[in-house]
Amino acid sequence: MNASHRRTCPERSRRTADGGKLMRIPIIAGNWKMYKTEQEAFQLASDLKQRLKDVDGVKMVICPPFTSLSSVKRAIENSPILLGAQNMHWEEKGAYTGEISPSMLLTAGCKYVIIGHSERRNLFFETDNFVNLKVKSALKFNLSPIICVGEKLDQREANKTEEVVENQVRGAFKDLNAKDAEKTVIAYEPVWAIGTGRTATPQQANEVHLFIRELLSSEFGKECAEKINILYGGSVKPENSRELLDMPEIDGALVGGASLDAESFGKLVRSAKQS
Ligand code: PEP
């Protein structure tokens, strides 16, 4: 695989955009992290339901803390908004104090689960192997994993972005076949852009997305790779979302800070519809 050729070959990227992006419905996913009490979460979800009731053509996912899953599920009933979780254990049950299992998420109404977020990798020492076990388990339980990958600032500055991202993608997708792979979502989240107000430029993000798509294509075939949504994450807000989402390889966003406010999340969703 020759990465520099891919990046400098507009023909190729345009073909991907035409053949690929049109097939993929954009996903805007909100990662609420460790914010919102149960009551606050219910209120935010109810507000979103009201604001976004007429939206189609965009998949909307909100991922509250575990303690608010059931009240958020109630709040978004009969709305197009889907429920996700922020993490899970790979085992179905067992003596794993403080952990949550895939079947618990499924029965709580989750359709998605974020796996391998950089905060999990960096603060809680999650390895590629853990990520892989979780991805396989999520798929087994019919949860769509949103698999996060992304380089740290020093790695980007040392020109190691592709190496880091390739290792994370290969690690996460180990032992998967194309049928499984196409049920996943990837979020490219450069660590230096998460919660910092610093965003990758649309070109920087698109370049890495294209790199990931080509990697998936070489592993699972072009047809499968074209079906996988690759989201961008890292200080996405209504002011910058359009230019990011307009890029041919960016199929949505994983949003932290700006998903905690109904008005800004609503604007983000609407910007995805226009892209
Ligand atoms: C995230 O938590 O995945 C994220 C991208 O956060 P923020 O939008 O706040 O940078």
Q: Measuring from atom 2 of ligand 1, which residue has the nearest CA?
A: 256
Catalytic residue, chosen from 119, 189, 207, 214, is: 189
Q: What separation in Å is there between the alpha carbon of 264 and the centre of ligand 1?
A: 14
pLDDT of the chain, 275 residues: tens digit per residue: 334 434 433 333 333 445 567 789 999 999 999 999 999 999 999 999 999 999 999 999 999 999 999 999 999 999 999 999 999 999 999 999 999 999 999 999 999 999 999 999 999 999 999 999 999 999 999 999 999 999 999 999 999 999 999 999 999 999 999 999 999 999 999 999 998 988 899 999 999 999 999 999 999 999 999 999 999 999 999 999 999 999 999 999 999 999 999 999 999 999 998 77
DSSP state of 259: G
Which ligand 1 atom sits nearest the alpha carbon of residue 253?
5
Q: Measuring from atom 3 of ligand 1, which residue has the nearest CA?
A: 256
Q: The pTM is what?
A: 0.93
Q: Are 116 and 172 in contact (CB under 8 A)?
A: yes
Q: Is residue 256 within 6 Å of ligand 1 at its C-beta?
A: yes
Q: Is residue 195 within 6 Å of ligand 1 at its C-beta?
A: yes
Nearest-10 Cα torsion for 64, 82, 234, 167: 100
Q: Measuring from atom 8 of ligand 1, which residue has the nearest CA?
A: 256
Of the candidates 81, 40, 39, the residue with the CA atom closest to the CA atom of residue 63: 81
Q: What separation in Å is there between the alpha carbon of 33 and the centre of ligand 1?
A: 9
